[in-house]
A and B are shown apart, each in its own frame.
Chain A
Amino acid sequence: MHEVTEADLAGARMGKRFNRLDRMSQLAVLAVEPLVATLEGVSRDRIGVVLSARAGSISTDVEYWAGRDRVGGPSPTLFAYTLPSSAIGEIAIRHGLRGPNLCFVGGEDLVLAEAQDLVRRGEAEACLGVVCDVVTEEAARVLGEAPGARVRAFVVGGK
């Protein structure tokens, strides 16, 4: 299990592309980074990713829609991250993972069981589990709840 919070982003050296990601994707990519090395020897076509996002993509939704009145409309770059599953795409691209994916809104308790099930069924040989709880201050105001940013990741299966 590897856990990261907002504070871990400050010292992260993850390359240029990383800076373009939305907050949840940054934290998710950072959380799985040390775990992928443990999957050495497993075909990238057979590594799945199961993710839950407690508040969906609301933080990026709010940031994207705040730009609705700018010249040219809201940001196309941000629009790509207005999906709770965006972080899966970023993890897959960074590590070349082509196995099956699952993404839940809420359902933190489902991630481990569903990752294990993908491996048990043989749909994947190994699976990354990622549990995201990210609500920016702006999104927290819209939802009427407290902000926070924490992502936990773990591995199921493998050699």
Chain B
Amino acid sequence: MTLVNMRDEMMKGAPICVAGCGAITAVGRGVSALRSALPVNASGLRPCPEFDSTRFQSRVAGRAPAEEGWRDDPAFGLAATALREAQDEAAGVLGNVRPERLGLVLATTKANIDAMQRRMEGRSCSDSAGRHMQADLLAADLAAEARAGGPVQTVSIACASGLVAIQQGAKLLQRDAADAVLVVGVDHLSDFVVAGFTSLKALDPEGCRPFDRNRCGLSPGEAGAAVVLVREAEGAGLAVRLAGWGNSNDANHMTGPSRDGSGLVLAIRQALALAGLEPGSIDYVNAHGTGTPYNDAMECLALRSVFGEEGPAVSGSKGMLGHTLGAAGVVESVLCITAMREGIMPGTPRLADPDEGAPARLLREPVRGARMQHVMKLNVGFGGINSALVFSHG
């Protein structure tokens, strides 16, 4: 099947649009916090005293605001908070959806890993927190909380989980398995993950600096984020729709990206083909942009390969939010959707001195009033996973 045929096949399903968003991140609670952070290029990264320097490579992380009672079950708390906000925004559309026609797709890498740590260390852990260390049970309980009685899926595909989960939500709608789908991404900060990146020497002690000449690692973050997807007919008048996607594997290395970016190029080209767009139509790319030397260099090569020397505006958001792993695709998509609604191209918080290989139109600061009709979101992950999404206005 050719790429043109792939597009025709995809378009047989109804176009999908975004009816609501929710987020709780290092810059605060609610999409309003993202909206406030965008124009001032704010960073939510802070030193976190619990990650002491004798055990961890860096204390800098993106900690979301906690609520009373969450710390036993942070994954559920973060995800449920984001879900409620997204459902509230989409209430007008969701009011017409029967519970058995409301689906849920969860994106996570580690679910409530804190509970596993507690059990192995002989510390107390509530039954529900223990249950939520299993991602599919976390998804089932989030669906119950959201009164989503339709299909439930749990996607866990490294740091591309969020983008793949959004695609799965769209596919459920196109197959008419649901009339609306809640896509929620969550991962919480844990000793487990920070120790892992410490062991790989992958953390920047000063906090991540995506695409910076002096970048030397990522900063972990936590977030809950959610989007409500509906078919365009049900969401008539909603501004942002999901136009296309693409996925690939580097088939190269478990923890490092391919040096030439060819795997990511495959995913980007497929997403453009499904969206029916030429590379020159993309106004803005929100990169994966971890701040690790190899990831950012690989992305620069891939972007140049597809878009040429000039290319679209590019920025990265992990200096604002930290690397939120399985939630990254959803929370960074919410950021893109918010930026499209506000007419602001996001900057790259914490970027000081752009690398010489960086994209020609790398944005250090946000740009107001910029054209944001077609936006591409990229994520890549361990195991060579690459994913690209295109969001379009109207």
Contacts and interface: CB of A to CB of B under 8 A. Distances in A.
Interface of A: 44-45, 49, 53, 55-56, 58, 61-62, 64-66, 68, 72-76, 79-80, 82-86, 88-90, 92-93, 95-107, 110, 117, 120-123, 125, 142-143
7 contacts: A65-B117, A89-B385, A98-B250, A100-B247, A102-B168, A107-B136, A122-B9
Contact of A92 (B3, B9, B249): B249
Contacts of A110: 153
A60 to B, nearest CB: 11
B281 interface: no
A93 B254 contact: yes
B202 to A, nearest CB: 9
Nearest to A96: B251
Given A75-B199, A80-B382, A100-B249, 15 more contacts: A53-B156, A65-B117, A85-B382, A86-B382, A89-B254, A90-B383, A92-B251, A95-B251, A98-B251, A100-B247, A103-B155, A107-B153, A121-B10, A122-B2, A123-B270
A102 B164 contact: yes
A141 B5 CA distance: 50
B120 A92 contact: no
Most buried by B among A45, A53, A110: A45
Highest count of chain B CB atoms <10 Å: which of A53, A76, A120: A76
Interface residues of B, number: 57
Contacts of B109: 83
Given A105-B154, A142-B119, A44 B382 contact: no
A102 B157 contact: yes
Contacts, number: 160
A58 B196 contact: no
A55 to B, nearest CB: 7
Nearest to A61: B116
A68 B171 contact: no
Contacts of B154: 104-107
Contacts of B246: 100
Interface in B159-215: 164, 168, 171, 175, 191-192, 195-200
B307 to A, nearest CB: 20
A101 B385 contact: yes
Interface of B: 1-3, 5-6, 9-10, 55, 109-111, 113, 116-117, 119-120, 133-136, 139, 153-158, 164, 168, 171, 175, 191-192, 195-200, 246-255, 263, 266, 270, 381-385
B383 A79 contact: no
A99 B263 CA distance: 9
Given A83-B156, A93-B384, A73 B247 contact: no
B196 A101 contact: no
Most A-side CB within 10 Å, residue of B117, B156, B171, B385: B156
A93 B139 CA distance: 30
A89 B249 CA distance: 8
Given A85-B158, A107-B136, A121-B9, A93 B253 contact: yes
A134 to B, nearest CB: 14
B134 A56 contact: yes
Given A80-B254, A105-B136, A89 B382 contact: yes
Given A89-B382, A93-B254, A122 B248 contact: no
Contacts of A143: 134
A85 B165 CA distance: 14
Nearest to A79: B196
A80 B256 CA distance: 10
A90 B385 CA distance: 11
Contacts of A122: 1-3, 5-6, 9
Nearest to A142: B119
B270 to A, nearest CB: 7
A86 B120 contact: no
A43 B41 CA distance: 44
B157 to A, nearest CB: 4
